[in-house]
Structure 1
Amino acid sequence: MRPPAQVRRRRLRALVAERGFLSVGEMARRLGVSEMTIRRDLTALEADGSLQRTHGGAVLAQEETPTPVDLHEPAFEARSRRHAEAKRAIARAALELLRPGATIGLDVGTTTFELARRLAEMRGLKIFTNSLRAAGLLANAAHDVYLPGGRVRGTELSLCGPVAVRELRNYWLDYAFLGVSGITAAGCFDYSLEDTEIKTVYIERAAHRVVLCDSSKFARMSVVKVCDLERIHRLITDAPPPPPLAGALRAAGVELVVAEPGEIEERA
């Protein structure tokens, strides 16, 4: 006999608390009910504040309430000084994915800019980027570097707008390396609507989509959602995510790479 709704919902909340994240399908299998029943339960549990629904499942509401971030984007120079060692470790781990001949999309941001520094250690890549800083850094490196047209967003020195979007859609990429301002079980976030339009193109055109994100951005969100977790293939970071985010990444099939700064520097 199927347990009463209140009993089932208590079990459901306990399962999510234990695992950090559960998909709707797994909830249904564990409790022996239909997915439609689970969705009704999730609606009720979200209404009373017990759980937070995410794409495909749920997390505990109190564990995955994102920490507010500044609505206004901090200056590039200020951001680049924060968590610098972690960003160097992440960039080195990202570099290990690449081989000569690869075609990559390099997003704007401080961690992707650190990857641009490391790309000088390689040869023979085709690099499409909307970052004027990264392009300037790589101008004399042994790579083919391409910039789209478009409007310059002066605060970030990024190229954006319909011209940039239209041009970047002409290319297929082996890898896209993406920067974000925050990541939660609900997805990836950024400060800028215009830069997010370019990130979306990178996601559409890349065979492998890699988010470079230090652990200070876990459980943080900003004004613009970039994508659901299911749209990315790999997250490279410097520390294990908290359980709700870790569970959501597993459920979305995202490969997690933890590049601890000390270990990376020792191997380098």
Structure 2
Amino acid sequence: MGKSLTADRRNQIAQILMKDGSIKVGDLSRRFSVSTETIRKDIIYLEGEGIATKSHGGAIAANDFVERPLDVKEMDHAEAKAAIAIAAMDCIPSGGVVVLDTGSTTNAIARQLLLKSGITVFTNSVTIAGVLAESDNDVYLLGGLVRSSSKATVGGWALEALSTIHADVAFLGSDGFDGLPGPSTLSYEEAAFKRKVITISDLVYTVADSSKCSSSGLFGYADWHQLDGLITDDGVASAMLNRIQKETRVIFPQPL
């Protein structure tokens, strides 16, 4: 029980750190009703995991684990994301049921779906629901707590809603997969959502540009063999590409 409480507290501290960029020992001690020494041990643990860097009176987030706002991510590798989105269209059957989770690449897929009709889309992205609201597709926004950074709904309500549907294909974003057996995300709640999506979908693809090869999130949501493919651009390093292709299909879009 003690180990479970410690792990849960450290996960929560990591999420606070990713959201706010820094933490104070005293604030966390009061928040979790534990001693400052306990919090310092938590910070030492997170520093060992490469998540935090100790600072005077607290810690700051390691750069790789700071979650950037979605509107900032939209500007990165926009051309690659647009090409990935076009390639994703070939995976959607006529009149199919699609799940899109939150992310800048799945946003690009949503924009391509504006050109389609008769598709049923389930999403936990407030942004995607807004993009597709005026399209000729049926769009369902799954309920839950809205995360400010990613504009995603998460939590038990969203997971319960997923349990009631069946999808032909799902497209999941990723914060990276460097050194991991599969894609990952910076949010524990979003990882839980992605894992549930995998169980209710016939086909599941991770969509991510090749820059994600050199980054990673805290929480893996699948191993590559659990997915039907990765849709990415041709910038993936050959060694990593070989590893991924042993586990799943890799789809490269046509250049724009």
What TM bracket, shorter-length normalisation?
0.7 to 0.9
Aligned to 1:158: 152
Matched, 1:168 2:162: yes
Equivalent of 2:115, from 115, 121, 124?
121
Query: Mapping of 1:74-85 within 5 angstroms?
Result: 74-85=68-79
Aligned to 2:98: 104
Aligned to 1:47: none
Matched, 1:93 2:87: yes
Could you tell me which amino acid in structure 1 is paired with residue 216 of structure 2? M
**Number of paired residues?**
194
Q: Secondary structure at the match of 1:143?
A: strand
2:207/2:231 contact within 8 Å kept: yes
1:219/1:245 contact within 8 Å kept: no
2:147/2:154 contact within 8 Å kept: yes
Equivalent of 1:195, from 177, 190, 205?
190
Q: Distance in 1 between matches of 2:100 and 2:205?
A: 10
Matched, 1:140 2:134: yes
Q: Distance in 2 between matches of 1:103 and 1:172?
A: 8
Q: Secondary structure at the match of 1:124?
A: strand
- Provide Cα deviations, 1:113-150, integer angstroms capped at 9, x if missing partner: 01000001110011000001000110111111111221
Aligned to 1:179: 173
Matched, 1:229 2:224: yes
Equivalent of 2:205, from 207, 210, 221?
210
Could you tell me which amino acid in structure 2 is paired with residue 213 of structure 1? A
2:92/2:98 contact within 8 Å kept: no
- Provide Cα deviations, 1:63-106, integer angstroms capped at 9, x if missing partner: xxxxx862120111111101001000000110122232100110
**Unmatched runs of 5 consecutive residues or more in structure 2:** 1-61
Q: Distance in 1 between matches of 2:79 and 2:246?
A: 29
- How far apart are residue 241 of structure 1 and its match? 2.5
Report 1 or 2 for greater relative contact order, CA contacts < 8 Å, sequence distance ≥ 6.
1
Aligned to 1:259: 253
Q: Secondary structure at the match of 2:111?
A: helix
Q: Distance in 2 between matches of 1:169 and 1:220?
A: 31
Equivalent of 1:242, from 234, 237, 242?
237
- Provide Cα deviations, 1:178-231, integer angstroms capped at 9, x if missing partner: 000102452111111111111111111111111111010114212111111111
Q: Distance in 2 between matches of 1:219 and 1:79?
A: 15
2:64/2:216 contact within 8 Å kept: no
2:64/2:215 contact within 8 Å kept: no
- How far apart are residue 175 of structure 1 and its match? 0.3
2:185/2:221 contact within 8 Å kept: yes
Q: Secondary structure at the match of 1:108?
A: coil
CA RMSD across the alignment: 1.5
Q: Secondary structure at the match of 2:117?
A: coil
Aligned to 1:20: none
Q: Distance in 2 between matches of 1:180 and 1:251?
A: 19
Q: Distance in 2 between matches of 1:72 and 1:244?
A: 27
- How far apart are residue 240 of structure 1 and its match? 4.9
- How far apart are residue 247 of structure 1 and its match? 2.2
Range that drifts further, 210-219 or 104-113: 210-219
Range that drifts further, 167-176 or 237-246: 237-246
**Unmatched runs of 5 consecutive residues or more in structure 1:** 1-67
Could you tell me which amino acid in structure 2 is paired with residue 102 of structure 1? G
Q: Secondary structure at the match of 1:125?
A: strand
Q: Distance in 1 between matches of 2:99 and 2:237?
A: 29
Larger Rg computed on CA atoms: 1
Aligned to 2:34: none
TM-score normalized by the length of structure 2 = 0.72
